[in-house]
Structures are given as structure tokens and as C-alpha cells.
Amino acid sequence: DTAVSQTPKYLVTQMGNDKSIKCEQNLGHDTMYWYKQDSKKFLKIMFSYNNKELIINETVPNRFSPKSPDKAHLNLHINSLELGDSAVYFCASSQGKNYGYTFGSGTRLTVV
Amino acid sequence: AQSVAQPEDQVNVAEGNPLTVKCTYSVSGNPYLFWYVQYPNRGLQFLLKYITGDNLVKGSYGFEAEFNKSQTSFHLKKPSALVSDSALYFCAVRPMDSNYQLIWGAGTKLIIKP
């Protein structure tokens, strides 16, 4: 019974392609996040939605677009993939500001 | 600028010995403080948090952390290390005026040797 599930787990694709990563949480949390973890393991927040409303939109290329059809889902679409987009992308959710995050297991994106 | 520092890239501890993973922060006001652990090829897992109250907080897997306001630190500790504790540990801070956003440390790799 996975709390935060991401698909796919691995994604290998060519430069210039468009791809999506899906995330779903069954915890009833109000807030969802997308993080990027680079090869040095640094974590960078990309986006956050609270009850389907965008609340954090960090400086990321316009090629990245989040979509939240409902509060249990937050998908990430990436256009025109570049080599530098290769990283592990984590989805997470939380009940509120005072609570810890529950992370998905990550999507390892490799752009060739 | 607000920041979180984990001064050690790597900490090596013998199994059975106590361990400490350090975290200091520079944020305005009284922040909320968190520790997370990441095992190889896995997502991060929440370990513990400090919001208010007792300066010593207990978390998962026998870990605890001590909040020190004067030193702006939130060090993670465990009395007796296990080989299975070997992982990457992240400290994170949420300033009180933050819009849900966490400020993350760079992570500390903990290696427990048998």
C-alpha cells in the first residue's frame, strides 16, 4: 500500500523528447511537491501545490510544467529534454507546514 | 540569506559507538527543524522534527536530535550505531514565515563500520 507512488521509476530518453512523470498520494495530504536531486545529492524544490493551487514555483526552465488534476495527484511534464535534466526527481506530500514530508521512491531520468 | 549547513560530508563511526551528525542553521525567527534519511536508491524518509517544547526530540530507528537555540544547531544523535544506519542524512529547516518551503542541508553520508 504505497503512500506516495511515482511512475515510471526509470526513464531513459533522447534529447529533445517530451516526457511526463506521474505522482499519486493516498494519504489525504493537502500539499504536494516536486524535488530534483542532482548527481551530488543536492535537493532542489521545483514546485508545490496546496489543494490544487500552485504555491511554490521556483526558478526552473519553462520546459517544466506541473499539473495537479486533484489534490491526490501532481504530475510533471518536461518538454524538449536536455542532457542537464538528467537527475532523480522526487514527489512528496505533507499534511501541512508543521508536518514532515512523505517522499516517493523517485524517478531516475537519464537524457542521452 | 537563510541557510542550513551540514559541515561534514561524511561521518565514520564504528558499530556500537555513539554517533552525531551535525546541523546548524541561519534563519530568522524560530524555525521548524527536520531530519530525513535516504537509503541508497530510495526516497527520503522522515526521521524526526522539532516544532516547540522539549529541546530533545526522539524519532524513528532510535534517533534523537537536540535543538540548541543559542548555537542555532540541531544535531542528530544515536547512542549506539548499527551498520544498517549507514545512509545519507539531510537536515531541513522551515522558517516560520515560510510558505511551506524547506531549506535543505547538503546531506551527510554516515558510514557505520562493523
Distance from CA of A16 to the nearest CA of B (A): 27
Of B45, B99, B107, the CB nearest to A55: B99
Q: Are the Cβ atoms of B32 and A50 closer than 8 angstroms?
A: no
Contact yes or no for B11/B19 (Cβ under 8 A)? yes
**B86 bridge partner residues:** none
* pLDDT at res. A6: 96
The number of C-alpha atoms within 13 Å of B86 and in the hemisphere containing its C-beta is: 12
Mapping DSSP onto H, E and C, the string for chain B reads CCEEECCCCEEEEECCCCEEECCEEECCCCCEEEEEEECCCCCEEEEEEECCCCCEEECHHHCEEEEECCCCEEEEEECCCCHHHCEEEEEEEECCCCCCCCEECCCEEEEEEC
* pLDDT at res. B34: 96
* pLDDT by position in tens, chain B (length 114): 889 999 999 999 999 999 999 999 998 888 899 999 999 888 899 999 998 889 999 999 999 999 999 999 999 999 999 999 999 999 999 987 776 788 999 999 999 999
* pLDDT at res. B29: 81
Nearest residue on chain A to B104, alpha-carbon basis: A43
Which residues of chain A fall below pLDDT 70? 1
* pLDDT at res. A51: 86
Q: Are the Cβ atoms of B43 and A48 closer than 8 angstroms?
A: no
* pLDDT at res. A53: 86
Of B32, B102, B107, the CB nearest to A41: B107
Cell 526552465 maps to which residue? A61
* pLDDT at res. A96: 80
Query: With b meaning 16 or more CB within 10 Å and e meaning fewer, what string describes A60-97?
Result: beeebebebeebbbbbbebeebeeebbbbbbbbbbeeb
C-alpha cell at B104: 535543505
* pLDDT at res. A81: 97
Between A and B, how many residue pairs show a Cβ–Cβ distance under 8 A? 56
**B32 bridge partner residues:** B94
* pLDDT at res. B97: 75
* pLDDT at res. B7: 96
Distance from CA of B76 to the nearest CA of A (A): 16
Answer whether A62 touches B (CB < 8 Å).
Answer: no
Of B49, B99, B104, the CB nearest to A43: B104
Q: Are the Cβ atoms of A106 and B43 closer than 8 angstroms?
A: yes
Quick one: DSSP state of residue A28?
A: -
* pLDDT at res. B39: 94
Alpha-carbon span A32 to A49, nearest angstrom: 5
